Amino acid sequence: MSDTSPVPAYVRTPQAAFLASLGVDRELARFDLAGSVAHVEMLGHVGILAPGEVASLRGGLRAVAREIALGSFPWRPELEDVHTNIEVRLTDLVGPVGGKLHTARSRNDQVAVDERLYLRSAVARVAAALVRLEERLLAKAGAEAERPMPGYTHLQRAQPVTVGHLLLAHFWQFDRDLDRLFATAARSNVSPLGAGALAGSTLPIDPSDTAGRLGFERAFENSIDAVSDRDPFAELLFDLALLAVHASGLGEEVVLFASKEFGFVARTPALGSGSSLMPQKRNPDVAELVRGKAGRTVGDLVALLTTLKGLPLAYDRDLQEDKAPVLDAIATSLAVLEALASVVEGLEFDPVRLGAAAADPELYATDVAERRVAGGAPFRATHESLARSYAAGAHPEVEPSGTAPDPARALAARSTAGGPSPTAVRRQLSLARARLDARVASLSSLDRAVGRIEELLTEDRG
């Protein structure tokens, strides 16, 4: 057994460097190895490989996994991709039986299964980071549940809400993001392995066997679809792009609220760094960068959709371009979620500035109108007469007693379900808590499926 087998003929071309994908797809190595262990075990199960061959191949694949984990794997860029690197190294380690690994398999179904295993684990990582952010939002919303603040539409002061109510609005956006990620993982829970290049095999392989070993719900229905389908990556990128859009909105509010003009939150180091020139500056640049990174993630989605558009079925080499945007969007999302969680945790609301803003009588114009309506006045006429008063600079009495506006009383009166009254916000907090607990349970079952990879690569099952 030589230490450096020759470069296989199928990857020899003057344009090898152009075709190479190793720089990107080596991130898929553990998934590729797990897929190979499942494939080898299936080949043994159906009698294509002898038990001794299965044992050598599986042992060799696990040895390769250890080399990769330790950083001692001899990556060879001239071998084009992760798949060929692993197969060639396996053959160096176990000898000619290594040449049987790729029996009844193509890199087309191989890369497709790698990607679905990667997606499952990537969703689990992003979901865990989202849960950590949502925990921070819930904690802050609980602490600030009843603190009055102006609610804005068109970025103009509109009606009173509470800080907790606003933070919970962000919670529900992120809860839907989590739901979408789990749904994406569930829809992609189908194994493409066994589709071969596009038309299955003449050998008696069993795709449902490998599907089961890898923890998939089932095998593909159509071998052409199986090697072509990149919907899981497209959905994942959409989920991450919308998540990034949501994160950017929260980032923007933090930026606004940390300005001297609003002054609702303190400009603490948790929000960012200072200026190299202006000694007085303390910038909210963590929140700004959370906002800015959304451009990149949205770009990743557009990049993939553009690559996929107009491709004939089944595998086309264009599909090799699918991985870089996904890996980039996953890394970006994880970084953004961690940064945003620490921003939320570090938010220090200014009671004086918020109190003054919440006492603005104009916030209660609708309340005044509704008091008159409750007394029997028609709404439209009341609205018109109040609009004339406010336009003339007059401030009709918010409190029947004629005293200054009492935000706490006004908020308690907004008692409709899902609204900002303290009672409704407390109820909302407990709904949010229960929802997050349920998501954490879904995440544990996803984590168990992700654990199949490590089991295949380490378990000694003879």
Binding site for ligand ARG (CB under 6 A): 21, 25, 81, 107-108, 111, 315, 317, 319-320
Of 22 and 334, the one with the shorter C-beta distance to ligand ARG is: 22
Residue whose token pair is 């299964």: 113
Of 31 and 315, CB closest to ligand ARG: 315
What is the rounded distance in angstroms from the CA atom of residue 325 to the CA atom of residue 432? 32
Q: What is the per-residue DSSP string for 340-398?
A: HHHHHHT--B-HHHHHHHHT-GGGGHHHHHHHHHHTT--HHHHHHHHHHHHHTT----S
> In the bound complex, what is the minimum distance in angstroms from residue 107's beta carbon to ligand ARG?
4
Instruction: Compute the half-sphere exposure of residue 59: CA atoms within 13 Å on the CB side of its CA.
Output: 12
Q: What is the dihedral of CA 178, 120, 314, 318, to 10 degrees?
A: 80
Least distance in angstroms from the C-beta of 111 to ligand ARG: 4
Angle, vertex CA 15, rays to CA 11 and CA 16, nearest 5: 40
Residues 6+ apart with CB under 8 A from 20: 77, 80, 81
Smallest gap, in angstroms, from Cβ of residue 196 to ligand ARG? Answer: 11
Q: Which pairing describes strands 190-191 and 218-219: parallel, antiparallel, or unpaired?
A: parallel
- Active-site position among 45, 83, 201, 275: 275
Which residues pair with residue 153 across a beta bridge?
A: 156
In this structure, are residues 337 and 247 in contact, taking their beta carbons and an 8 Å threshold?
yes
Residue 428 CB coordination number (10 Å): 22
Instruction: Please give the helix or strand (H or E) that residue 121 lies within, else none.
Output: helix 107-143
Nearer to ligand ARG, 1 or 199 (CB): 199
Q: Buried b / exposed e across 328-365, counting CB within 10 Å, b at 16+?
A: bbbebbbebbebbbebbebbebeeebbeebbbebebbb
Among the listed residues 2, 72, 154, 401, the single catalytic one is 154
154 is catalytic: yes
Is 39 assigned a catalytic role?
no
Comparing CB distances to ligand ARG, the nearer of 324 and 357 is 324
Q: Which residue has the tokens 């007693």?
A: 401
Say if residues 134 and 243 touch (Cβ distance below 8 Å): no
What are residue 394's phi and psi, to 5 degrees?
A: -85, 150
State the minimum distance, in angstroms, from the CB of residue 84 to ligand ARG. 9
Closest separation in Å from C-beta 175 to ligand ARG: 34
Distance of closest approach, residue 91 Cβ to ligand ARG, in angstroms: 19
Least distance in angstroms from the C-beta of 112 to ligand ARG: 9
* Segment holding 25, helix H or strand E: helix 22-25
Amino acid 20 reads A
Nearer to ligand ARG by C-beta: 80 or 288? 80
Catalytically annotated residues: 154, 275
